[in-house]
Amino acid sequence: MKLATIGLNHETAPLAIREQLAFTAATLADAVRHLIADTAAEAVILSTCNRTEIYCVADAEDVLAWWANYHQLTVDEIRPYIYTHGCGETIRHAFRVACGLDSMVLGEPQILGQMKDAVRIATEQHALGTWLNALFQRTFSAAKEVRSHTCVGDNTVSMASASVKMAEVLYPDLTQANVLLVGAGEMNELVATYFAAKQPAKLTIANRSLKRAEDLCDSLISPANACLLNDLPHILADYDVVISCTAAPLPILGKGMVESAMAARNGKPMFMLDLAVPRDIEVQVGDVAGVMLKTVDDIFAVVETGKEARRSAAAAAEQMVERKVMEFVDWQKQRQRVPLICALRDEGERARQYVLQNAMKQLARGAHPHDVLERLSVQLTNKLLHAPTSVLSKDDDLSNAISQIYRLQPPNHQLERQAA
C-alpha cells in the first residue's frame, strides 16, 4: 500500500458527474468508515462543490473500485473523469489544494477549512495513521505560510460575492428585491453576509434546523427572517432571488414547485442559483418560463475577475509550495532512515560488547594488557568490516556507496593515479 490521491474536480468532470460521485455531509463519516474497513489503511475524503478527492494509503485501483461500487457505478463509467496521484505528487497536490492554487477561484480561502473538516471527520473515524497525519499537519502549516507571505488570496472574487454579481444581472438594484437563501451552512453563511450588505427589501433563510437559521439571521447586519424547508412551497413565489446550498442528497426545489411559484408571480422573473453538489434544484427548473437558473459551474466567468493579479502572485506561491514539498519529502526520508540507523548502531554495539567481553576474560586470565588491546582492536575491526567486505566482493554496484561511506577513493580513481 502506498500514499495516493484519487479524485475528480471542476476541470476533469462536469457537474452531472461530480454530483454522482460526491459524498454528502450526512454520508461522509460512514463512507470513510467503510473505506477503511474494506480497502484502505488510512483515508481522508474531501468532497466539495468543485471536487471530490480520496487521500489514502492504499492501492489506488482498489480505492477506485470501492468508490464506483459505493455509488453503484462501474469503474469504466467513472475512470475518464478521474485523476490519480502517486506518493510524491499527492504531497504536492495536497499542498496546492490547501493553498487555493488548484481551485476554480484561484486563492480562495474556503478550501482550507473544508480540508480541515475532512481531516477532522477522518480522525473521528480513526482513519488517520502515520502517513496522513504527517501529510495534513505539514499541508496546513504550508498553507498558512503561503497565504501569509504571498498575495495569492488578495483580490479574490469568492463564490459568495460572485453570487451577488450574478443576481444583479437580473436585479441590478437588490434593495428592491426579495432574497431567499436555502440552507444555513458554511457557504450560505458567506452568501448571506454579501446579500445582507446589499440591504435587500426582504431576506429570508430557510433551513432544516430553525435554530440554525435564526442564529445566522441574528449575525447579519440587516434584518432577516428564518423559516423551515417545509415552508418553501408556500413562500417561494414571494422571492426574486433564490440561492440554494444544502447537503441534501436529493433536490429540494422541484420543477412543479417552481412552476406553481412562477404562476403566482404574474410574469415577474426569478433568479435561481444552485451552489450545491449534488444539486438542490432540479435541472428541469431551467425550462420553466421566467426562471434564470445558474449552477456552480456558471460562476467561473464571474470569478475570473482579478485573476491576472492573483496569477502573478500564484507564481511566488507555487515556488513556496515546491520548497515545502521538498522539505516534507526530505523529512519523510529521514524518518524512514531512522530504523535503519538504529539497527546499524545496535549491530555495532553488539560487536563492541562481544569483543569487550572477550578482552575482559583475557585480562581476568592474566594476559598482558598490551596483547589484549591489540587483539581487541583487530577483532573489532574485523567484525565491523566483515559485512561491507562480504557485500562488496559480490556486488560491484555498491563500490561507490562503500567509497562514500568510508571516504575512500573509488577504485577507478586509484587506477588512474597509478597509471599517471
Name the residue among 342, 352, 406 with its Cα closest to residue 379.
352
What is the enclosing helix (H) or strand (E) of 180? strand 178-182
- Which of these, 10, 65, 63, lies nearest to 275 by C-alpha position? 10
For 60, 107, 368, 398, 407, the CA distances from 394, given in Å and listed in that order, are: 37, 55, 39, 9, 20
**Do 63 and 6 touch, CB atoms closer than 8 A?**
yes
Residue 394 burial (C-beta neighbours within 10 Å; 0-12, 13-18, 19+): exposed
| Under 8 Å between Cβ of 238 and 225 | no
CA distance 180 to 197: 15
Identify whether the C-beta of residue 31 lies closer than 8 Å to the C-beta of residue 106. no
Q: Give the chain's length.
A: 420
Measure the CA–CA gap between 340 and 335, rounded to whole angstroms: 10
For residue 349, the one-letter residue type is E
Q: Would the CA dihedral through 31, 284, 191, 213 be positive or negative? A: negative
SS3 54: strand
Residue 117: left if φ>0, alpha if ψ -120 to 50, beta else—which one? alpha
Reported for 344-350, long-range contacts at CB under 8 A and 24+ positions apart, including other chains, are 348/384
Question: Quick one: cell of 352?
Answer: 563492541
The Cα 375–Cα 242 span in angstroms is 90
**Which are the catalytic amino acids?**
49
Determine the 3-state secondary structure of 28 from DSSP. helix
Q: Can you read off the three cell numbers belonging to residue 126?
A: 480513526
